[in-house]
Structure 1
């Protein structure tokens, strides 16, 4: 017999709704308070810009215009970072124009100025509300516990009235605390969206400018990929020319000497042939090493974690590999990840003075994350000619990113993020 729905409320569903409402309220409160920080910066920047504009009227502030515009861009970039953490990403803008006339005619600068005024006024007020609301909840909600400790005439609610003279009035103030709590739970998400709306609308680049930035980025990464490819060809050519070719030339010379000595001194010819065989084996070993440097066979035959484990055994510094890759990525992506780790371990062995290193490999959706950490002296940088610059170019050639963290004294962490398809 089928059970009938009696229409009674589900206690578990009600608890889930209350929990979701509480999380939304606290999230809105956190967003408001974080927006208060950028609102204070916006207010200071607005004052600086107004002072610069006023002094420009007498010609004194013209030299300060580039610094004021740079301060504007720093504040707007900080707001873009904040909004990107709590919602859709907002890309950064182009560097601000240098001159006053160019800045006045730049649509991006005009939009940033409009945002600055709104966030320094409305955003600041909403942020102050987000800061004061939880204080009022605590103050008025606990008012019956401590109102007798206040001097006569000062026992009022957070809004300044009414003056409380008895316990009934104190309980009434605690009801006001409940009202503040309901405001936190139900109104702060709306206030947070209201505070963030100008930034979402005014700090987002135009679709056309975003496309221009994307084309410029692809052009730069394509040029970097071509440079990396040319450098790789030069490396292979040097390895073959300076190593394998010289070994083979030595084998040819030794075989000619053995052929001439075979009739005159067979024992000497046998020694020459033995040297020729050793030289041929060395040439073959160097040729195999060059082939492996192009694409390691273990990467093709087995998997990227196995290839990284094999790579770690050849590093003079002890390396721990923490690799989890449930499915294979594209061959080009795995090869890039392999050479990123190989170059990073080479830098660690040569320059870091580290006692140990860790390689971490994870796949998160359509992104492959590779991190190499060592406990060396730190202070690394992707300067021209460095291996880290080569790692960055390899990553950007695949539309990936590189993040380097290397404070003086260490540790150093090289993180590479590569797209690998869904």
Structure 2
């Protein structure tokens, strides 16, 4: 295991793209209390919104679960056989609604094909069994978490604002939102207000984890399972192949532009200068010497640009120093102080290491250009036939995949290896990119 702290004070290693670092500057000061409060508040608000949305689907799940339970109980007298198809349609509809909700807050869930709504096929259908398992969890644990997510802000607002309206309440009215105590004076009022601040602290500290816990069963059970129809897997691989071809075509266009707009123009300049120097060498040796010097400078610039293009295809630093050394070079040239933590002792396939390198390079470029972050971190872990990357920053958040942030390019490059990408970037930050690459690619 190796942990390195890299800033611009270190020299950049050879082999990283020129777009990652742009000159040098002093590290930004540490974030202030106000920035931390804004970021924590933004994350908590997003979590409350997710919990409230999950509460809505959990109510639907509870109704569907009750319908299915009644169908099962009354099946002995024949009524349940009539109710079961309606319950199965409700089950698939609520599951689709939950998939749509989860897709708005994270990586897209690849849903299964049409599930059966007749009782006999549904009993042996793996998709229906997975959806039913999710229904039970979401109608119980998910409903409880969603209810807390709805009640917490109401309690926080009521108790925090209690000093503003307590004198308007009847003398025997309960003071706190939890139904305890009666305010007899300002000391009791301040105690209720402190309780309101406690609710706010709970919201900031616990609701992000609660939202993840509420969504976890859906992400695990509502996606395509290993026993899904092979046609779905074929469709997924077809989309992956198209994304890989897209990424390849984009890379070829980038290389062509670099060669045409940069290196080719330099070489044309060299040719023109050499021709002019050859004609001047007899009558003006001094002028010819000056032209030759300019031609040499242009040739050196063309050589440097060719090296840059070659590094963009497959950085030689990956071969010379491995993934850890290559990422340390990227961090050293990044304008934002960046911490690198790599624990992947085994070398991976060249395609996997190159993809990991370019993902980190693009992510650090985005952090430097768009995030306003004051620090960043890259963590790499290998094991179990997978390579896992996590790139995070403490910037303003709000990364939009459709807003030209470069995330689409990263996703296509990862899709070419059948990997996965998860982006969490709530308004106010922080932003975290999780990447998982299969090492057998």
Q: How far, CA to CA, are the matches of 2:96 and 2:346 in structure 1?
A: 42
Q: In the alignment, which residue of structure 2 is the partner of 1:242? A: 261
**Structure 1 unaligned residues grouped into runs of 5+:** 1-36, 51-64, 79-90, 128-198
In the other structure, the counterpart of 1:70 is: 93
Normalising by structure 2, what TM-score?
0.55
> Counterparts of 2:134 and 2:333 in 1: how far apart (Å)?
56
* RMSD of equivalent CA atoms: 4.3
Q: Relative contact order (alpha carbons < 8 A, sep ≥ 6): 1 or 2 greater?
A: 2
Q: Which runs of 5+ in 2 are unaligned?
A: 1-55, 70-87, 102-108, 143-217
Per-residue Cα deviation, 1:198-226 (whole angstroms, up to 9, x for no partner): x9xx9897988431111111111011001
- Please say if residues 108 and 205 of structure 1, whose CA atoms lie closer than 8 Å, have aligned partners that are also in contact: no
SS in 2 for 1:302: helix
SS of residue in 1 equivalent to 2:298: helix
SS state at 1:226 partner? helix
Task: Indicate the SS of the match to 2:381.
Answer: strand
| Residue number among 273, 280, 289 corresponding to 1:254 in the alignment | 273
Tell me which residue corresponds to 2:323: 304
1:323 maps onto 2:346 in alignment: no
Whole-angstrom CA distance in 1 between matches of 2:133 and 2:439: 41
Q: How many residues of Structure 1 are paired with residues of Structure 2 in the alignment? A: 284
* Partner Cα separation in structure 2 for residue 122 and residue 338 of structure 1: 39
Within 5 Å, give how 1:32-51 maps onto structure 2: 42-45=61-64
Equivalent residue, structure 2, for 1:94:
112
Name the residue aligned to 2:305: 286
1:343-395, CA deviations, whole angstroms, 9 ceiling, x for partnerless residues? 11111122112122111111132110111111111110222754111111111
1:316-352, CA deviations, whole angstroms, 9 ceiling, x for partnerless residues?
2221111121111111100110010011111112211
Q: Which residue of 2 aligns with 1:219?
A: 238
Asked if the contact 1:96/1:109 (under 8 Å) is kept, the reply is no
Moved more, 410-419 or 382-391: 382-391
Deviates more, 1:375-384 or 1:110-119: 110-119
- The 1-side partners of 2:323 and 2:436 are apart by 15
Check 1:274–1:319 CA distance in 2 against 1; reply closer, same or farther (3 A cut).
Answer: same
| Cα separation, partners in 2 of 1:421 and 1:259, compared to 1, 3 Å | same
Q: Residues 351, 366 of structure 1: CA spacing in aligned structure 2 closer, same or farther, 3 A cutoff?
A: same
**Shift of residue 238, structure 1, vs aligned partner:** 0.5
Give the structure-1-normalised TM-score: 0.58
Local SS of the residue matching 2:282 = coil
Instruction: Give, in whole Å, the separation in 1 of the partners of 2:276 and 2:110.
Output: 69
The partner residue of 2:392 within 343, 357, 373 is 373
Within 1, Cα distance between the matches of 2:134 and 2:308?
Answer: 60
Measured at CA, do residues 116 and 47 of structure 1 come closer, stay the same or move farther in structure 2, by a change above 3 Å? farther
